[in-house]
Structure 1
Amino acid sequence: MDFLSENGYLGLFITAFLSATILPLSSELVLTGLLLNGLSPAKLLMIATVGNVLGSLTNYYLGLLASKTVIQKWLRMTESQFENAEARFNKYGLAALLFAWVPVIGDPVTVIAGILRVKLLWFIILLTVGKFLRYAFVVYFVL
């Protein structure tokens, strides 16, 4: 994690991108470290949001292109867990994308959005709003 935080904006972008996948990284920690080191809060907010949204777009396209079996293996989900996640997404609809930043449930939500062929424009808009607000919250409380 030191390597990523030592590389400033690029390190944050990489961390935000990868943490939107199933890799266990914390972009909030890198963001906090960079804020405390005096980097531009506005730039950090934008870079973290863009990186995280692009990482989630990767998940979306995996859901769009991969088979259900491959997705279940990748997410380490049983058939019933997968069906429950699908049911929750269908129950809450597109609003679920506003919470795609939440650990554990966020990655499956973005993959399932791809599987269910959610319109890309709505996916990007809702995902960006949720992730931007999460990072804005971190920036606000750190500063």
Structure 2
Amino acid sequence: MCKVLIFGCVAAVILMSAAYGAPLNTIQKAARLEASIKKLTFPPPSLQNFLDFYTPNDRQECNYTTLACFLKELEVLKQDLEEDKQRPVINIQKNLEDFMDPNFSNPTCKKCEANEKKKFPEFHQEMTRFLQSMQKEIA
């Protein structure tokens, strides 16, 4: 009985470590984008008009740069939230980090700080549009 339990645990660890590095398939990517879009209504009203966010509006050729900027701004938001309200931001960040390409470089794309600063409602709207456009590309 003990050998079966140990073997089962070892098998589970092997499967988990093999799956950890596996790339996401199209269905998984679409599900993560959908979850991120749904969770974008998280900041409390007190922060919605208090903070300014660099808000990219580049499309297509600068997707990775735009996504990196949104992730950077989500980190700013997370730092300004109380610890018990950070979970939705952390979940969105985790979902979106899998879409990043660390090797992407396009000198014609704007740096995050070159984008216009906007309040959360406009930031939210642009990020939602961007994620929806990514969703359409996957489908």
Q: Structure 1 length as normaliser, TM-score?
A: 0.31
Higher RCO (C-alpha 8 Å, min separation 6): 2
Higher strand content, 1 or 2: 2
When Rg is computed on C-alpha atoms for both structures, the one with the higher figure is 2
Normalised by the length of structure 2, the TM-score is 0.31
